[in-house]
Amino acid sequence: MGTAAAPYPPGADAPAGSGLSADDVKERTLAGLANGVPDNSSRSLWQIVRANVLTLFNGIVGGCFLLLLFLGQWKDALFGFAALSNAVIGVVQEYRAKRLLDRLAVLDAPRARVLREGQVQDIAVSDVVLDDVAVLHAGDQVVADAVIISGDGLEIDESFLTGESEPVGKGRGSTVWSGSTITAGQGEARVVGVGAGSYASRLTAEAKRFSLVNSEIRNGIGRVLHWISWALFPVVVIVTNGQMQAKGGWDLAFTTGAWVEAVVGAVAGAIAMIPLGLVLMTSVAFAVGGVRLARQNVLVQELAAVEGLARVDVLCIDKTGTLTEGRVVFDGVHAAGIPSPPGWREALGWFGADPHANATARSLAGTFAFDGNRVPAAVVPFSSARKWSAASFSSPHAAAGTWVLGAPEMVLQGNNASTGDVLVQSRRLAWAGLRTLVLAYSQDVAPERDPDDVQLPPGLTAATLLTFREKVRPDAAQTLSYFRQQGVAVKILSGDDHRTVMAVAREVGLDAVVGYDARHLPSDPHLMEETLDGLSVFGRVTPAQKKDMVMALQRMGHTVAMTGDGVNDALALKEADIGIAMDTAAPATKAVAQLVLLDGRFDRLPAVVAEGRQVIVNIERVSVLFLSKTTYAVVLSIVFGALLWSFPFLPRQLSATDGLTIGIPAFFLALMSNPRRYKPGFLKRSLAMAVPAGIIVATAVLAVQVYSVAAGGFSAGASRTASVVTLSLVALSVLAAVSRPVSALRVAIIAAMCLGLFLLMTVPILQEFFMLEWPPPELTTASFAAASVAILAVLALSQVHARRYPVDRPAKVTQNSVARP
């Protein structure tokens, strides 16, 4: 449990009425009995450095770099500085993201409520100590393992621990585990387990953890790197042998000193195979996306969640607190068809004044008064499962009898004519967009009951109907319109009456014909999927049903985002591909969400989705550049090694071509705007373009070298230069192909790279440094001819690839139907 033995029996010096004293707290803190855990809100600086520097490929690159420096070939070791720059950029970007996320996580950290020295205090979770008396209310997260010492209708959601979604009633002496949540009632509990071993500590640490979670993008890149690592050694052996044989054999090469040039060629082949910048671009894109969203008051608790955002095609939202502001206002009283019994106003006053009332009941306090000195004989706290609460008053109280306040269809379960009339009137009010509750009355004074055996009193009759309003967020309609345009369907999952939810849906412009009462939702998975496929508005949805509905949408092939702010949304947020919690969410709800809207603005969501799409689609775009380079490097290494020819490039020349055709443009392309939705299959699509493109580049270079050998009379420098020109021109055509659709900025980037190539070939100091010499006319002609044919082949390939993998442009869809992928 991460605790030590108490200095004396728990609670011996801390009666529940007063809690611990300041001296007690100090003594336990010094004894190591506090709830503090190491701050693992994000990776440490050392972890960031290790992830960006101490990698297999950095080890290979570093070894090649040191080898060339040892041989005195520092000009050919430029790739080492590029790799170092990549690592530094990655560390800086992730560290900046870490600092920002840490600050936001601290501001958004959950709090604990404890009783100390007779006063209820709000303290940090880490300041809770053994034997503290925790004060529990509905919506709270239990932050330390504790034993109930007093309770009133306490119901605990232990689904995080047991997987059982039904709330569990807890009485005196029962244990509540950290990580569970209070769904109903109130009480006090003595802390018996604190520290890093408690469930709450682990849950909080996981919720704030800076993590690069598993994702299709990262897994795909990881597979490519794994393949390359296996292929690298045998290819290097082939290249090295070919280089040595091209210098007259191993013995002659070592005798004449030509082995140095051979080693330089082998290093060039090895370095060309490694996609140095691909992992960097992925990490930087994730980190930059997280920082951009943080600046918009969106806390990204898992940076790789941006991939899920890019793929979201269904958004499930809770009505209260998301579409509406969450503030309930009392609207009015409506007759129930029979004279109201005396005392109904005072009864409503008690429901409004109850310190444990929910927000709807509390809104009655400003209209109906209640004498605080009058105490009910029995109370049934509100439960989201029952959807009603009750209070009994004894004679000669003006409101003697039992009063029940709750959802009409849950409270009035009889079949008499008066009940039917009240339910019809309730439905009519609900269709007008009003939340409707009934105040019902029974002359019986209900005795105290076991919390597990709560039933409605007999003889209930409707005293009056009450209506409440919720204020719709001013940005809700515009936000839903954005999702409609982007092809993301919206499902409203609310615990309110489906008619009330439909009224709100119409007000925000949602194109929904009918709402659905989730009490009739089929339990059969296939029937549930059919229901979800055809409808968008659901009312009376229980927490367990929200989770089941999210899972059903996922089984249908959808990527689901879920927004919410209540404890009843926590299960669904945890199961969704992306969980989004509002600023008013309960601590447990925030803990399981990947994103938290810190300012509670619903209109942040379009920016969140757009950022995710931009990051992931651009990673796919630049991956084609890096993987095509790896492909042509492998092909050239094997072919030239097998032919026993010298490798056609020096490492410094490859550094220049890589920078112009891949490195520099990839950095800009990875951060450009890109609104289209990402679809699964990243690696398949990337390789389908990159492998043929790499083969085309290699074939063009090989053709130039074959002509150079066949024609004869050309210097090694001229042949290399011709290969550099050929490779650069064809690689730029690959860059142009992946940069579509055309935009002014993308054209400017390609033009700048072409200018860079021109300067590389014409500026004397650059020619001298990179050992470039303009080839003779016939070799130049051969180079341009090979490049032209290859460019046409790349253009044809891009057309075939575009037809095979069409761009998923946002489609206009109705919200009554979600097209299956």
The answer to whether the beta carbons of residues 87 and 53 sit under 8 Å apart is: yes
Residue (of 184, 152, 187) closest to 379 by Cα position? 152
What pTM was computed for the model?
Answer: 0.60
Q: Which pLDDT value is given to residue 529?
A: 92
- Average pLDDT of the segment spanning 107-111: 58
Distance between CA 669 and CA 267 in Å, rounded? 29
- Average pLDDT of the segment spanning 330-341: 84
Residue 165 pLDDT grade (very low, low, confident, very high; cuts 50, 70, 90): very low
- Average pLDDT of the segment spanning 434-458: 76
pLDDT digits (tens, 9 = 90+) for 715-753: 888 999 999 999 999 999 999 998 887 788 889 999 999
pLDDT digits (tens, 9 = 90+) for 254-294: 777 777 777 776 776 677 677 766 776 776 777 777 778 88
φ, ψ of residue 524 in degrees (nearest 5) = -65, 125
Residue 225: left (phi > 0), alpha (psi -120 to 50), or beta?
A: alpha
Q: Which pLDDT value is given to residue 591?
A: 65
Angle at 302 between CA 296 and CA 307, to 5 degrees: 85
Which CATH number characterizes residue 361's domain?
A: 3.40.1110.10
Whether residue 358 has pLDDT greater than 50: yes
The answer to whether the beta carbons of residues 235 and 243 sit under 8 Å apart is: no
57: in domain:
yes
Residue type at position 80: G
- Does residue 275 share a domain with residue 184? no
818: in domain:
no
Structure tokens at 678: 């990402």
- Does residue 465 share a domain with residue 352? yes
Structure tokens at 407: 């959802």
- Does residue 147 share a domain with residue 42? yes
Q: Which pLDDT value is given to residue 465?
A: 93
- Does residue 565 share a domain with residue 497? yes
Q: Which pLDDT value is given to residue 13?
A: 39
- Does residue 590 share a domain with residue 635? no
pLDDT digits (tens, 9 = 90+) for 224-261: 877 877 877 787 788 778 777 777 777 777 777 777 77
* DSSP designation for 158: -
- Does residue 44 share a domain with residue 23? yes
Residue ranges making up the domain that contains 395: 331-470
> Is 318 annotated as catalytic?
yes
Whether residue 81 has pLDDT greater than 90: no
The two beta strands, 388-393 and 378-383, are antiparallel
- Average pLDDT of the segment spanning 640-669: 84
Q: What does the mean pLDDT of the chain come to?
A: 78
Looking at 556, 583, 609, the residue that finishes a domain is 609
As a whole-number percent, the residues of the chain with pLDDT over 70 amount to: 79
Sign of CA pseudo-dihedral 293, 299, 301, 307: negative
- Does residue 314 share a domain with residue 249? no
426: in domain:
yes
- Average pLDDT of the segment spanning 209-237: 70
The DSSP element (H or E) to which 489 belongs, if any, is: strand 489-493
Which CATH number characterizes residue 115's domain?
A: 2.70.150.10
- Does residue 304 share a domain with residue 265? no
Instruction: Give the number of other Cβ atoms within 10 Å of residue 2's Cβ.
Output: 15
Q: Which pLDDT value is given to residue 208?
A: 43
603: in domain:
yes
Q: Which pLDDT value is given to residue 401?
A: 86
- Average pLDDT of the segment spanning 296-318: 78
Contacts of 716 (CB under 8 A, 6+ apart): 646
Which CATH number characterizes residue 577's domain?
A: 3.40.50.1000
Angle at 453 between CA 449 and CA 458, to 5 degrees: 75
Distance between CA 255 and CA 248 in Å, rounded? 10
Residue 586 pLDDT grade (very low, low, confident, very high; cuts 50, 70, 90): low
Q: CA torsion, points 112, 114, 120, 124, in degrees to nearest 10? A: -40
Q: Which pLDDT value is given to residue 107?
A: 43
686: in domain:
yes
- Average pLDDT of the segment spanning 424-443: 85
As a whole-number percent, the residues of the chain with pLDDT over 90 amount to: 17
Looking at 444, 470, 496, the residue that finishes a domain is 470
- Does residue 522 share a domain with residue 412? no
Whether residue 645 has pLDDT greater than 90: no
pLDDT digits (tens, 9 = 90+) for 125-141: 888 888 899 998 877 87
- Average pLDDT of the segment spanning 319-333: 80
- Does residue 243 share a domain with residue 308? no
Which CATH number characterizes residue 757's domain?
A: 1.20.1110.10
Whether residue 310 has pLDDT greater than 60: yes
Residue 588 pLDDT grade (very low, low, confident, very high; cuts 50, 70, 90): low
Sign of CA pseudo-dihedral 509, 513, 518, 523: negative
Q: How many domains in the chain? A: 4
582 - beta bridge partners?
597
Instruction: Give the number of other Cβ atoms within 10 Å of residue 526's Cβ.
Output: 10
Q: Which residue has the higher pLDDT, 92 or 172?
A: 172
Whether residue 52 has pLDDT greater than 50: yes
Looking at 546, 574, 609, the residue that finishes a domain is 609
Q: Which pLDDT value is given to residue 202?
A: 52
820: in domain:
no
Q: Which pLDDT value is given to residue 412?
A: 86
554: in domain:
yes
pLDDT digits (tens, 9 = 90+) for 507-529: 888 877 788 998 899 988 899 99
- Does residue 695 share a domain with residue 675? yes
Catalytic residue (choose from 108, 313, 318, 496): 318
> Which range among 423-432, 746-755, 807-816 shows the weakest confidence by mean pLDDT?
807-816
388: in domain:
yes
- Does residue 546 share a domain with residue 417? no
